[in-house]
Amino acid sequence: MSTSTIILIVLGLIVLVVLAIGFTLGWKTLTPWIKSGSNVNEISQQCALACSVNSKYDYCSKTFILKDDKKNEVQGVSCNVLSGIPTFKTKWGVEICPSITCEKFACEKLDDDLLKDLVINNEKPRDLLSRKDTFLFQENEYDIGFFANDLSSGEFCKVSFIKPKGEFIKLN
C-alpha cells in the first residue's frame, strides 16, 4: 500500500468518527470545537437587516442568545435591548434603529415587561431592581431610561442584575 492510500484511509476514518459522534451525541456538542463561540457579528447583522426592512417584530421582540469572545452569554435580549442599554451598545455595537419605534414602559415595570427573559452568564437575575433615581450609576447598574416613558428631566431609570445569592452579575 502506498503512503497516499494510508493517509486517505486515516482521513476517511476521522470523517466517519466525526459523523458518528455528530449523529449520536448531537451536532451542538461538536459546534464549539468547530466554530468560534462569538455570534456578536451575526446578531448585529440581523439587527441591521431588521431595521433596514422595517421589521418591528424582529427588531423589538425577537430575542437572541448573544455570546462574545470574552465568554459572556446574554439570553433573552432583543435588538432593541442591545442597542438601548448604553453598556450593551458600547460592548457589542448594535445600533439604534431610527425608523422603528418600539413600545416603551413605565420604569418600574421594565423588569416585568422588557427584561423578563434576561439571563446573563447563566444567571437568571433574582431581582432586576429597575427604579427611578436621580443619582449617578454604580458599577453594576445599567441605564435603561431609553425604554421608559415616565421619566422627568434629571431622572434615570436604572437596573441592577442580582444573582439569586444576592451578588451582582457582572459582564466580563
Domain definitions of the chain by residue range = 3-34, 40-160
Cell 433574582: give the residue: 126
98 Cβ contact partners less than 8 Å away, ≥ 6 residues apart: none
Residue listed under C-alpha cell 441605564: 143
Whether 99 and 51 have beta carbons less than 8 Å apart is answered as: yes
C-alpha pair distances (Å), 74 with each of 12, 120, 124, 149? 39, 4, 10, 25
The predicted-structure confidence for 158-169, as pLDDT tens digits, reads as follows 777 666 555 555
Query: 3-class SS at 22?
Result: helix
pLDDT per position as a tens digit, 20-48: 877 787 776 666 666 667 888 899 999 99
Confirm whether pTM is higher than 0.75.
no
Mean pLDDT in consecutive groups of 10 residues from the start of the chain, 172 residues: 85 85 74 70 92 93 86 85 85 90 80 72 60 61 79 77 58 63
C-beta of residue 162 within 8 angstroms of C-beta of residue 131? no
Closest CA to 77 of 46, 114, 108, 24: 114
> Is there a contact between 75 and 121 (Cβ–Cβ < 8 Å)?
no
Q: Find residue 158's DSSP bridge partners.
A: 131, 143
pLDDT for res 66: 87
Residue 48 confidence (pLDDT): 93
